[in-house]
Structure 1
Amino acid sequence: MILLTASSGLFQCTNKFFHSDKATGLRIKEFARRNAANALSVANMIMGLASILSSLDGHHHTACWLLLIGYLLDLADGAVARRLDACSALGAKLDDFADFTTFGIATSLLLRTSGMLDNILCICYALSVFVRLCFFSSGIPFMYLGLPCIYASAILACASMLSGGNAAMLRVIAVAMILFMISHSFYPHDRVLESQAWKKAVYAGGVVMLFCSFFPPACVYYLLWSVSYILFPTSLWSSEV
């Protein structure tokens, strides 16, 4: 009788532990599901902060490379959030903070020199990204108002690497990107990973080019990708095409 009672108690303890362990596993999975996209946004912000430090240390090539990694992370976080049904106000704020850090402050430092006018341009670029992020909503479903700042950042980063940091070229491109970002032109929502298969292939090609290619071909690849979004936004990059 005593043995039976002990066995029953052991079974109940084991069963309770099993259910507790299972519940813990489910909570961990739910936490991971809800925060997977947030993790990508934080990773994007880390790339931006690392790019800022690289620029301040004079490692401009590394700074540009980190911006392109942030480019890929930013295109992925929204797709992951919608795929996992984990969109939230916190996620939206994290995404904006990450975008301003990487595509605003870090990108603007590519324009920084010892000259006062270049530093003013640097400030104006960061402010234009801030304005773009604050007033991006167009009121039209699946559309942006003004050029998304990730494409302006990618164009500046690629131009910087391909030209060896030519200041005159970067100034002209930066002014053009500022005008595109604060314009009232409509651009389609860039759901690259939720659209046609060829767009997913373009994204996959970007990953391959970034990690498996020498930098000139990768820069040309990202430059063509970003410029095509500016030149053919609706006919080529709309999710409804």
Structure 2
Amino acid sequence: MLLLMPPTGNERPFVFYRRPLENPPLLQQKDEGSLELGWLWKHVKGRVQNTLVGDLTLNVFSKECVSVHQEAFFEQAAWTCPNLEFARKNAANTLSLANLLMGLSSIICSLNGHHYAACWLLLIGFLLDLADGAVARRLNACSPLGAKLDDFADFTSFGLATALLLQAHQLLDACLVIAYVLAVFTRLCFFCSGIPFMYRGLPCTYASCILVCAFLLSSGNLLILRITAVVMILFMVDQGFYPHDKVLESQLWKKMVFTGGVMMLLFSSSRLACLYYLLWASSYILFPFALWSAVPKMQ
């Protein structure tokens, strides 16, 4: 009840009765929702709500006034934030898919006899494989799906596509190709060290890099390729430990090595680029702890 003027004499006061609010819990729920969301409501975002309660018109405002620029900013953020979150979570997966695409393209090139093109595609996949894990950790986007996708891309590029460079023309050659693929499969599936950032057995990425460089530098000499493949198989099934190189996450010189690999691939001659990648991969295989890790050698 609302008293508009005090009574004087025999005059009756003018009294207005406010109609009881309908569904008070609902209004209370809206008010709690506005407090939780702050000064930005879910849909109205600071606009005026005209609510008719009884015979009176009530203007319900948000807790704080939102300027035009702030409203435009949050309207833009409402659309861009989901896209940025999606990009953050899938940046590393995109690199893994690119590695997979390089492997599939290399397989097609090898089946059509274009082995040199297949080798260069595998070197691109080598760089992509080193980058996807670093991007996932930097963006805090590591996931089981990303790990499976990375393993599948590695098996395709550094297992199947690399094995086709051996050109199985005879039965023994076919057995060597199968042995190489099985070594990569065993290395990816069963050789888990249980130690963070530590590999058991030579990573197939570096084995593929050595084999690709041997193919390019020897002009596809099958004898050299077969000997190199046997040595790489022994390294991959070995029980020795190899450190995670972290070329994009540790010392500056490792980042420079990766950058040099990109520059060599884009602007250098083919032979000089092959020598660079051969030296890179060989240093990791021969001096894994002395050069590529600050962790002491595991016993």
TM-score by length of 2: 0.74
Counting only pairs closer than 5 Å after superposition, residues 129-208 of structure 1 correspond to structure 2 as 129-208=184-263
**Separation in 2, partners of 1:239, 1:210:** 28
Q: What is residue 49 of structure 1 aligned with on the other side?
A: 104
Contact 2:168 2:177 in 1 (8 A): no
What is the Cα deviation at residue 237 of structure 1? 0.6
Higher-Rg member (1/2): 2
Counting only pairs closer than 5 Å after superposition, residues 1-241 of structure 1 correspond to structure 2 as 19-240=74-295
TM-score by length of 1: 0.91
Q: Which runs of 5+ in 2 are unaligned?
A: 1-46, 50-65
**Separation in 2, partners of 1:235, 1:29:** 40
Offset from partner CA, 1:29-50 (integer Å, 9 cap, x none): 0000000000000000000000
Offset from partner CA, 1:116-135 (integer Å, 9 cap, x none): 21111111101100000012
Moved over 6 A (4+): 14-18
Question: RMSD across aligned C-alpha pairs, in angstroms?
Answer: 2.0
Q: Which runs of 5+ in 1 are unaligned?
A: 1-6
Contact 1:189 1:239 in 2 (8 A): no
Contact 1:41 1:73 in 2 (8 A): yes
Q: Which structure shows the higher strand fraction?
A: 2
What is the Cα deviation at residue 180 of structure 1? 0.3
Q: What is residue 3 of structure 1 aligned with on the other side?
A: none
Percent pairwise identity: 63
Contact 2:103 2:122 in 1 (8 A): yes
Offset from partner CA, 1:194-234 (integer Å, 9 cap, x none): 11100100000000000111110000000010011110001
SS in 2 for 1:190: coil
SS in 2 for 1:144: strand
Contact 2:159 2:184 in 1 (8 A): yes
